[in-house]
Amino acid sequence: MAQIYGKVALIGLGLIASSMAHAMRRGGVAAEISGYARSQATRDTARRIQLCDTVCDSAEAAVEGADLIVLAVPVGAMGVVAEAIAPHLKPGATVIDVGSVKAAVVEAVGPHVPDGVHFVPTHPMAGTEHSGPEAGFASLFDNRWTLIVPPDGADRAAVERVEAYWQALGANCERMEVTHHDLVCAVVSHIPHLIAYTMVGVADDLSRVSDQEVIKFSAAGFRDFTRIAASDPTMWRDVFLTNKEATLEMLGRFTEELFALQRAIRTGDGEELFDYFTRTRAIRRGIIEAGQDTDAPDFGRAKKHDR
């Protein structure tokens, strides 16, 4: 693959950023990679595993001369980081983020982006329950979707270059409007995480009075809830606080569906339950047919990733 950017600066060195570093190296996408993380321990780990060509002790140092700057910090911290690095951004550079909320990020980051610097929000729809610089692997984005969410007035050439960059990392890309993005992600990501956290919380309460039976006898369904609920708590706290309206709207719809199922169970309406489960089963088939999972056992997840 051809090089797309000269220097890429990764601000935040968790799962997504570390996977981006590996994928960039795999595809020869960048000539140089710099990185910064707030934690000294994270920076030390990144240096030890040689994640980046240079790991800097400040975000300002990391972005010097960078053609692409990746904000890979929790959504709640993006505005502060953008303000700090703004005076150090190279004219003509592009800033992207990898947060799963967009309206709040545009509002927090946009005002700090200097004239002559492009801002193109993005959202890679990929991840695992693991975090930190050692969690990344080059194939994380392969055949997964990255949503490109340009704000009004975004430079067309900069957007196209960002799209080409994500495709070079293995992703499929689709452009989406900011508000619609936040609504879609509330459905496919945010509410499922909230339900998983709730279900595991309920099970934790039960396990206290059942000699850990909930843990001992967990079948695949509950086990998968725990995988989702193991995700980074800081990130998900910020997601729900910054995507409040869309999350509450979808949570209201979920509650209505739950009440309908409760009624069907209470009244013994087997036909309603069968029809409902048949419709939802079709969604699973659609995901498999779209190549976003396999029909293999254990939810199609390999035991180990190629790193």
Q: Give per-residue pLDDT as tens, 76-113.
A: 899 999 999 999 999 999 999 999 899 999 999 999 99
pLDDT in tens, 17-74: 999 999 999 999 999 999 999 999 999 999 999 999 999 999 999 999 999 999 999 9
Domain boundaries, the chain: 5-176, 180-267
pLDDT reading at 145 higher than 80 = yes
* Residue 4 · residue 164 · CB < 8 Å: yes
Helix axes 244-266, 178-185, angle to 10 degrees: 30
CATH number of 180-267: 1.10.3660.10
| φ and ψ of 14, to 5 deg | -90, -155
Q: What is each CA distance from 268 to 92, 169, 255, 259, 281, in whole angstroms?
A: 64, 51, 20, 14, 21
Highest mean pLDDT among 77-81, 185-189, 295-299: 77-81
- Bridging pattern class, strands 30-36 and 5-11: parallel
Residue pair 176/145 in contact (Cβ under 8 Å)? The answer is no
Are 42 and 133 contacting, i.e. CB atoms less than 8 angstroms apart? yes
Report the alpha-carbon distance of residue 14 to residue 241 in Å, rounded: 21
Task: Output the average pLDDT for the chain.
Answer: 87
How far is residue 89's CA from residue 76's CA, in Å, rounded to a whole number? Answer: 21
Question: What is the CATH topology of the domain spanning 5-176?
Answer: Rossmann fold (3.40.50)
In the chain, % of residues over pLDDT 90: 56
Within 131-190, residue ranges assigned H as helices are 156-168, 178-185
- As given in the structure block, the two tokens for residue 104 are 């709040």
C-beta separation of 148 from 159 below 8 A: yes
* Two tokens, residue 249: 């709207």
pLDDT of residue 47: 97
Judge whether residue 306 has pLDDT over 50: no
User: Looking at the predicted structure, is the pLDDT value of residue 220 above 70?
Assistant: no
Give the mean pLDDT of 204-209: 66
Look at residues 114, 121, 105 and name the one whose alpha carbon lies nearest to residue 154.
121
C-alpha triplet 35, 118, 247: angle, nearest 5°: 80
Give the confidence band of 293 by pLDDT, cuts at 50, 70, 90. Answer: low
204 and 213 in contact (C-beta within 8 Å)? no
- Taking 90 as the threshold, does the pLDDT of residue 237 lie above it? no
Strands of the sheet containing 54-55, edge to edge, are: 54-55, 30-36, 5-11, 68-71, 94-97, 118-119
Average pLDDT over residues 168-172: 96
Average pLDDT score over residue span 238-249: 84
Q: Structure pTM?
A: 0.77
With bands split at pLDDT 50, 70 and 90, how would you rate the model's confidence at 208? low
Report percent pLDDT > 70 for the chain: 89
